[in-house]
Chains A and B, each alone.
Chain A
Amino acid sequence: MNVPDDLNYTSDHEWARSEEGGGLRVGITDYAQDALGDIVFVQLPEPGAKVSAGDSFAEVESTKSVSDIFAPVSGTVTEINQDLTDAPQRLNEDPYGEGWLCVIVPDTDGAEPELLDADGYRKLIES
């Protein structure tokens, strides 16, 4: 499974990439997309939505099941990947690139998010 070194991860199989300007770009991992199978539908929050760390804020559906996506941090959704409406298969094809889900700007007064580094996430999925 592909686990890029420069990302942070949750134990629920989301990744987060720090962007210039303080936002976090968020998606699901290669492991997650492989386990889900062919993804046919993605339900994303509206830009401006407030999300809380660990709470479900999006849904991804494959031909076989529905999965909740959990927010890696508390904050505000500033951008969503509109392309996924018509091309949800991007999550399977390119989970760390074109298959990104949204950008969340973390709350400034929020607690520091507890995310895994690449080694920590590798250990999790190999155990």
Chain B
Amino acid sequence: MSDPGTDLRHSPLDEAHRVLGARMVPFGGWEMPLSYPSGTIAEHQACRAGTVAFDVSHLGTVRVSGPDAFATLQRTLTNDLAKIGPGRAQYTHLLDEVDASVLDDIIVWWVDEESFDVMPNASNTARVRQAVGGTDVTAERAVIAVQGPQARAQLATVVPEAASVGRFRVAPFSWRGEACVAAGTGYTGEDGVECSIPAAAAPAFWETLMAAGITPAGLGARDTLRLEAALPLHGHELGPGITPLQAGLGWVVSWSKAEGFRGRAALEKERANGVRRLLAGLSTEGRQPPRAGAAVTRAGERIGEVTSGNFSPVLGHGIALAFLPPGVTPGTAVEIDLRGRPVPATIVKLPFVEKKKD
């Protein structure tokens, strides 16, 4: 077999995925698993009911360290790092200076007093590094996201130190003598832990998770899971021309911090004038997946466009995110144009699927 992915980067777990029979696809400059032989729907259900592991090594890790690290991040990114501290994680945005578009959405792991691991989306790593400096250490580690209602219990059988990290907490741990980091973060709407493991040790760590009975899951399930949880995907709900306020993520923006943030002036204007569109959830009755780019109409008039859509494995019908005029409230009946056929849809509150209460 020829390798179609010679220009693509490969995870330290690449061989392990192939042994498991994964279907590999290009994603953000990397070749990553789309699904394993059990398929996207089974992987999705396993994450809602038990525990799955995703290889998310394609996410970047930009290490920003030193006495200026805090100040640099604090004046560049939208969220307020002063609200957290070392040993905690925060979701934040990098905005365009001119129009306050979201250049990237990022998780920051505040690993140690003067050391931050800034984790951009794969294809935005260079752009984020340009903005905050630091060192790209992506190639040195694998990141494995262990997610699901049983994630902590299952992980505890392998590495109890990592399993006990709190939600949005960050903690170092040691595995077979290797220095690793665990964070109580994820992208599925379930509880879980993301583990950063030195590249050389990562295949053995992954093997141990598999041996513990954790289900491997690919990008296909990651996408349907994050959609049910209404978590934004850069390039769909965030990106050029889209501000955090339009995406309904005002909570990511700190107006009160003295340092400000890049793009503040532009975003302030939008805040004063009001947003012209707002991210909304749509639900259809049938199984047909709404798709990105589909027009949303109301009484025959086009009012917006789907940014992400799919079949919801948990709900058993179509769901979609779309930018609509701000006044369109839950309960409103609209139509989505699916390949020339108008399909009735209803505006619903987000998320589509709530995490089960303990």
Contacts and interface: CB of A to CB of B under 8 A. Distances in A.
A63 B287 contact: no
Give the residue among A38, A59, A66 with the most B Cβ atoms within 10 A: A38
Contact of B288 (A38, A43, A63, A64): A43
B277 interface: no
B23 A37 contact: yes
Contact of A64 (B34, B42, B286): B34
Contact of A59 (B41, B220, B310, B339): B339
A19 B311 CA distance: 34
Contacts of A92: 39
Interface residues of A, number: 14
A41 B23 contact: no
Contacts of B310: 63
B224 A88 contact: no
Contact of A38 (B40, B223, B291, B339): B40
A41 B41 CA distance: 13
Interface string B14-49: 000000000100000000001100011110000000
Contact of A40 (B34, B35, B289): B289
Interface string B223-245: 11000000000000000000000
A41 B288 contact: yes
Interface in A58-98: 59, 61-64, 66, 88-89, 92
B35 A66 contact: no
Give the residue among A66, A88, A89 with the most B Cβ atoms within 10 A: A66
B339 A66 contact: yes
B35 A37 contact: yes
B291 A37 contact: no
A92 B223 CA distance: 20
A64 B23 CA distance: 13
Give the residue among A40, A41, A62 with the most B Cβ atoms within 10 A: A40
A63 B40 contact: yes
B289 A61 contact: yes
Nearest to B218: A37
Interface of B: 23, 34-35, 39-42, 220, 223-224, 286-289, 291, 310-311, 339
25 contacts: A37-B34, A37-B35, A37-B39, A37-B220, A38-B39, A38-B40, A38-B42, A38-B220, A40-B41, A40-B287, A40-B311, A41-B286, A41-B287, A41-B311, A61-B288, A61-B289, A63-B220, A63-B223, A63-B224, A63-B289, A63-B310, A64-B40, A64-B220, A66-B339, A89-B41
Given A41-B286, A63-B41, 7 more contacts: A37-B35, A37-B40, A38-B39, A40-B287, A61-B288, A63-B223, A92-B39
